[in-house]
Structure formats: C-alpha cells, structure tokens
Amino acid sequence: MSDSVPSQLDPRDLLQLLDVARKLAQPFELNDLLTEIIDAGRHVLRADRGTVFLYDAPNRELTSAVATGVDEIRFSIDLGIAGECARERKIVNVPDCYVDERFNQDIDKATGYRTNCLITVPLVGLDNELVGVVQLLNAEKGRFDEDDERMATLLASQAAAAIQRVRLNNERLVKLKLEGDLDIARNIQMGVLPDTLPDLSGYEMASFARPADQTGGDIYDVVEFGEQRALMLLADATGHGIGPALSVTSVRAMLRVGLRISQQLDDLFTHINDQLCDDLPANRFVTALLGVLDAKAHRVEYQAAGQGPLLHYHRSTGECEWRGANTVPWGIMDGVPLDPPEVLTLEPGDFWVLLTDGFYEAADPQGEQLGKERIGQIVHELRDASAQTVVDAMVKEVDTFAAGEPQADDLTALVVKRAGA
C-alpha cells in the first residue's frame, strides 16, 4: 500500500482519467453517477466488480447505494475494511482477502462470489469532507499494485467532487420545491382570511395576521349573519408551519360549513371540537375563541377554548378587564360539556381586543416578554383612536420591543370598537 502519489503518469493512464473526469462532470442523478463511478473504476483498474459506499455522518455508517452483484449493505465505520478506509482516510489494498482477518467472508458465502483481492479508496471532497469510499474487487492481473493505487486516488478525487456537486444540486432542487410548496400553502392560507370585515352599525373592526414562518398556525374569521350580528373566530394551533396551518385552515372551513347547518354558538363550537378530536393527533390541539357580536344589543357571547387573555377595555373608566378561557382547547376531548357562553356588554367607546399569544410572548434580546400590561397601555393611550390605529400601534410595539429578534410565533389580531364615548 502506498500513501503517496507519484508525480509521473503514463500518458495512456492520463487520457483515461481525463475521459473519466469529463464524464463525471456531466449532469447525473445520484444513482446514475454512482454507477458511472463504479464502471469507470472497473475500467481504469481492470477490476471485476465495484461498490460505492456513501458516508452517513450523523450515524457514522457506510451504505452501499450502488454495487455490482450485491444488495444494499449498511454498517458502522468501526467495522471492516471499508470502515477502516473511511476512518483512516487511506487506501486499503488487500492482495489476498482470505488470509486477511479484516475481510468479511459472509457476503461471498451469501452470493457465491469469491473475492480474491480488493482495493478500497476514500472519497474525500471539498473542505476535506468524507463523502464515502469506493471498493473494487478482483483485479484482472491478480492483484492491485501501486500504479492502481495512484490511478484510484485520482479517480476518487474526481468522484468525490462529482458526488458533492450532485448532492448540492439535489438539495437546491428540494429546497426550491419546498419553498414553492410553502408559497402555495401560504397563499391558500392567507387567501381564506376575509378580504373585508363586516360593517355593523355603530361598530368598527380591524385585523392583522403575520405568520412566523411562510405558513402559520393562527387564523381569524368574521362572518356577518342575521341582522346586525357577526360570528367571530380567533384560532391558534399548537406550533407553526405546515401542520398547524392545515389545522386552522380546516377549522375555518368547518365553521363556514357549520353555519349552513346551525347558527347556534354552542352547536358550532361542539361540531368543530368533536371533528378536531377525530382529525388531530394526540399531541395537537387548537385554542380558539368563538363568539357572536350583536350590534343591536351591544353584547358579545363567546366560548373561549383555552384562548386568552382577552381584553375588554372600558372607555368610561379606563379599566382593562382581562378575561381568561372558560373551557378546554379544541381537539383534546370530544363531547365536552359546555357552560353557558360568557357575556360582555360593550358600552360606547369600549374595545374588545383578541390577540394570539405571539403578541404577549414577543421577546426582546434579553428574553423579557412584552406581556399584557403593555398591550393594555396602548389601548388606553389610544382609547379615542380607531380600531385600525390600535392594531397598527400594537404591531409596531411588538416590532420595536423585539429590536430585531426573529419573530418566534405567529401574530394575529382582531379588534372591535363600539363607536361613541
């Protein structure tokens, strides 16, 4: 075994290697490339069979993605000749396999093939990254010599770079596809949000939604029904991303379908909860507020399934009344017995502020959370402003408070204000 590569090459060998390098530079699928590497190695070194073992760094394993004459093999780099080659990053040249204790004869016994000699070469790519090893069996001349080692080393350097290139290109394509799929999912999710909010006499509404990722686990909806009445939904699925986005988009769809069957608050609430219990895995749930605003009676009736805090700002006294959830989140237990809906009365100038926890739990660089007191202070200071002005101010406060820290959770707001003072 030689640890160095002589500087001189036979011109015929050089032409062969240049031809291999040209082939490996072409665009390939990974398996096709590995097959090309094996074929090139067999041709250049006059070998009978070959295998490319790719290195799985997290598991410290080698796996034979492509091999001639055998099925896929997976094993630790602490084992065997290929494992030694990967660990040491050196050529292992075995002239007589059956007298070498490192050689595993089981594969020969299983396949009926006899391995007389072999050479194993590390595939080390750019940035000294171990890509895998290539192993060639049974040289035509009876054993692999120093010339073969020299040729194998140069072949391996070309092969390693080609594998890295294909992998990077595949990762890029997967990333582009994923980003495209996420954009589609985001467009679908944002597309189901209401374009406009109901115009109820004596009331104004404003909303905001900004996911932490391309898709989020929050959603809101406001549906006008009956005379001067609106159904309000604010929902927050555990986590954020594709899974929670699907959950809350399903919630909105259930609500719209349920309204065609019943306009009773508790019926809708129970229908959605029981369906989510069937649909969601055990570790998933949705917190939500489902309420009805009656603009003629100036009343809100609601059920808060794990959703809170909820702010009722009293304009006449300047009091921030914080309310909590009154039942368990959706999707945890079906057939949940419901108490009568919570009720609040909106006096002139009052605000009803519904926020997901991305607002309250927004953190500054030191880890301090924004908290509900700052939210209440904003509403109090802007008590005579519009609902939209209050929403804009709360979003600005979150961004200022975070001071450039990444948004950790989805931000969704729904604010109702009764006109007058």
Mean per-residue pLDDT, 390-409 = 93
The residue count of the chain comes to 421
Name the band, by pLDDT with cuts 50, 70 and 90, for residue 180: low
- Model pTM? 0.61
Quick: pLDDT tens for 382-392: 999 999 999 99
Q: Would you say residue 7 has pLDDT above 50?
A: no
For residue 134, count other CB atoms closer than 10 A to its CB.
Answer: 26
Angle (CA) 285-180-187 rounded to 5° is 55
Predicted confidence (pLDDT) at residue 11 exceeds the cutoff of 70: no
Q: Rounded to whole angstroms, how far apart are CA atoms 313 and 227?
A: 25
Residue 190 pLDDT class (50, 70, 90 cuts): low
Per-residue CA distances from 283 to 217, 237, 250, 333 (Å): 15, 11, 17, 12
What span, in angstroms and rounded, lies between the C-alpha atoms of 368 and 401?
9
Q: How would DSSP label each residue in 356-411?
A: -HHHHT-B-TT--B-HHHHHHHHHHHTTTS-HHHHHHHHHHHHHHHHTTPPP-S-E
Instruction: Return the SS3 of 276.
Output: helix
CB atoms within 10 A of CB 52: 26
pLDDT digits (tens, 9 = 90+) for 324-352: 999 999 999 888 888 999 999 999 999 99
pLDDT confidence band for 3 (50 / 70 / 90): very low
In this structure, what token pair is assigned to residue 240? 């954020």
> How deeply is 201 buried, as exposed, middle or buried, from its count of CB atoms within 10 A (0-12, 13-18, 19+)?
exposed
Alpha-helical regions (H) of 192-216: none
Contact 206, 212 (CB under 8 A): no
What pLDDT score was predicted for residue 66? 58
Over 90: is that where the pLDDT of 29 sits? no
Alpha helices by DSSP H, listed for 59-145, are 80-88, 106-111
Kindly state the tokens that stand for 285.
Answer: 């749930």
Question: How much of the chain, in percent, has pLDDT values that exceed 70?
Answer: 86
Is-contact 250 271, C-beta < 8 A? Answer: no
Under 8 Å CB-to-CB from 35, ≥6 apart: which residues? 66
Report pLDDT for 157: 81
Residue 202's pLDDT is 95
Q: What is the pLDDT of residues 32-62, one digit of tens each?
A: 778 888 888 888 888 999 888 999 989 999 9
Q: Which domains does the chain have, with CATH numbers?
A: 11-173 (3.30.450.40), 192-418 (3.60.40.10)
Query: Where residue 154 falls among pLDDT bands split at 50, 70, 90?
Result: confident
Looking at residue 260, its pLDDT comes to 81
Residues whose CB falls within 8 Å of the CB of residue 410, separated by 6 or more in sequence, listed in order: 209, 210, 211, 212, 216, 217, 218, 236, 240, 356, 358
What's the average model confidence in pLDDT over 273-295?
Answer: 89
Compute the mean pLDDT over every residue in the chain, rounded to the nearest whole number.
85
Mean pLDDT of 365-376: 94
Residue 6: the pLDDT is 42
